[in-house]
Structure 1
Amino acid sequence: MQLAASKQGRAWRALLTATLVALSGAALMGGAPHAAAQEASRRAWLGVELEPGPSGGVIAKHVITSSPAAKAGIVDGDQVVSADGVPLEDPKQLVARVALAGPGNTVNLRIRRGGQERDVSPTLAPFPGRDQILRLDKVGTFAPAWKSLSTVAGTVPANVGALRGNVVLLDFWATWCAPCRLMAPQLSKWHTTYAAQGLRVVGITSDNVGVATKTAQALSMRYAVASDSAESTSAAYGVSALPTMFVIDKKGVIREVLVGYDPSRHAEIEKLLQTLLAEPAPRP
């Protein structure tokens, strides 16, 4: 699998893992995949994006779906007051506690919500890797709204909701991303093959319209392309590496996520597209 880190990658550093450092792109690109997997299995994971609280403690800015934190009942906006009896003033304190505990062990957290406090004891899991984290968080949920997109090529609706009733293949890419360029011909092929059956391929790039237009033409992109130069839509989808692709069904629900360029999964993705295209359209 090949991928490139995006500018949004710094958001992943706030995800609560054994450390604030995510797996490096070099390891994920095949340099040492087995070693990277072994290293990840030794890192504890709670599954919370943190930020400092306004008056002490730390805030659970975002809780990953099906993560240890979510299973323990922690929700977005909760304030984590203490960990194992130690008052928290900085997210790094909680990161250190999780690292010290290790996978398979519990950490005792005091949570404040709506002026009331309660204790939870999530069991920490091994760090699953960012591909799986994104899948846990997004698959089965409605596709987030698009924000501040500018059309580069083709027809790009103002929002993903306008494509309800179609199967949508949403690909986040950039001009400087070599794996993204490798993915473009396959996306064009799927567009050509399945557009008449209701597939809509949309490429969203962090490049500005001018740069993106030249690249789209150079790569003969036959599908719709939009510019997300502020990366607000990328952030809404939790994109931290490129390319990242979302398969969205006719109801607007994310059914699969693919991070990186991985030709070995293309047949699987195409089979999923065929299955989703055969599903009935939702009622108005």
Structure 2
Amino acid sequence: MRRLPARRTVSAGVGVMTVMLLAGCGQQRQQALAPAPPVASNPPAPATPSPSEQAPGGASVGRAAPDFATETTQGKPISLRSLRGKVVLLDYWATWCVPCKMAMPTLESLHRRYVGQGLKVVGISVDDSDSVRAVPAVARALGVTYTLSASPDDNNRAQKAYGVQGIPSQFLIDKKGVIRWAQGGFSFSEKQELSALIQKLLAEPA
């Protein structure tokens, strides 16, 4: 998992990072699946999550996902609020992040498989105003068709809201806007696990 805010500094140890990526980023990776919140008129306040239930930044699994408002690469407004009722997979990434780009074909595969069932994949670029210009070209090169945001100011606010300190970082949000799973880093071996979690959330009522 690449650390921020040294956004455009590509380490000489890319080969080592690739090994870490394939190994699941070792101890840096944290993930959890929170149970669906109980249906109640006045539900009790959720307990403070344990360290293993913390999202890779600051947002917590089992808590309401922070709203964000940004623009897609097509210039269309998008916010988490506007996606309520869908299962949302957020991916924080950057054009200069090798592990991020290695993960994107898997995210595209999940998008193609579940978009018709209510999954919305959103890639939030944390590139600066210079490197963000490469987002459309990177998307074309990787065959990415899911929604990408390339608005540096808006995305910087979204990054801070989620407490993202390293990339790639992913958040899986249910139809009610609750973070149910989060991960820092990426491993190809986790595609089936993530696919199963998405199916579970898609089957839950809105």
Q: Fold match, TM over 0.5?
A: yes
Match of 1:192 among 112, 120, 136: 112
CA contact (8 A) 2:67 2:79 kept: yes
1:64-213 matched pairs, under 5 angstroms: 65-66=48-49, 133-134=54-55, 137-147=59-69, 149-153=70-74, 157-207=77-127, 208=129, 209-213=132-136
For 1:236, the equivalent position in structure 2 comes to 161
Q: Note if 1:277 corresponds to 2:205.
A: no
CA contact (8 A) 2:67 2:80 kept: yes
Match of 1:4 among 2, 5, 19: 2
Residue type at the aligned position of 1:178: V
Higher strand share: 1
Which runs of no fewer than 5 residues in structure 1 stay unpaired?
10-25, 38-64, 68-127
CA contact (8 A) 1:146 1:160 kept: yes
Cα RMSD of the aligned pairs, angstroms, is 2.9
Deviation at 1:179, TM superposition (A): 0.5
Q: Return the index of the structure with the highest Cα Rg.
A: 1
CA contact (8 A) 1:150 1:226 kept: yes
Which runs of no fewer than 5 residues in structure 2 stay unpaired?
8-15, 28-47
> For the structure 1 residues 139 and 244, does the alpha-carbon distance in structure 2 shift closer, same or farther, using more than 3 Å as the test?
same
Match of 1:245 among 162, 167, 170: 170
Residue type at the aligned position of 1:229: P
> For the structure 1 residues 276 and 157, does the alpha-carbon distance in structure 2 shift closer, same or farther, using more than 3 Å as the test?
farther
Larger relative contact order (CA 8 Å, sep ≥ 6): 2
Residue type at the aligned position of 2:72: T
> For the structure 1 residues 27 and 226, does the alpha-carbon distance in structure 2 shift closer, same or farther, using more than 3 Å as the test?
closer
> For the structure 1 residues 229 and 137, does the alpha-carbon distance in structure 2 shift closer, same or farther, using more than 3 Å as the test?
closer
Deviation at 1:143, TM superposition (A): 1.1
Q: Deviations over 1:24-80 (max 9, x none)?
A: xx799649x9xx86xxxxxxxxxxxxxxxxxxxxxxxxxxx446xxxxxxxxxxxxx
For 2:41, the equivalent position in structure 1 comes to none
SS of the aligned residue for 1:182 comes to: helix
The number of aligned residues is 169
TM-score of the superposed pair, with normalisation by structure 2: 0.72
Q: Give the Cα–Cα distance (whole angstroms) in 2 for the partners of residues 166 and 8 of structure 1.
A: 33
Q: Deviations over 1:135-179 (max 9, x none)?
A: 6851011111114x23215x8643101111110011000001001
CA contact (8 A) 2:59 2:161 kept: no
Q: Give the Cα–Cα distance (whole angstroms) in 2 for the partners of residues 137 and 158 of structure 1.
A: 20
Q: Give the Cα–Cα distance (whole angstroms) in 1 for the partners of residues 18 and 181 of structure 2.
A: 19
Q: Give the Cα–Cα distance (whole angstroms) in 2 for the partners of residues 245 and 177 of structure 1.
A: 14
Q: Give the Cα–Cα distance (whole angstroms) in 1 for the partners of residues 103 and 17 of structure 2.
A: 20
Q: Give the Cα–Cα distance (whole angstroms) in 2 for the partners of residues 29 and 245 of structure 1.
A: 19
Q: Give the Cα–Cα distance (whole angstroms) in 1 for the partners of residues 102 and 17 of structure 2.
A: 19
TM-score of the superposed pair, with normalisation by structure 1: 0.53
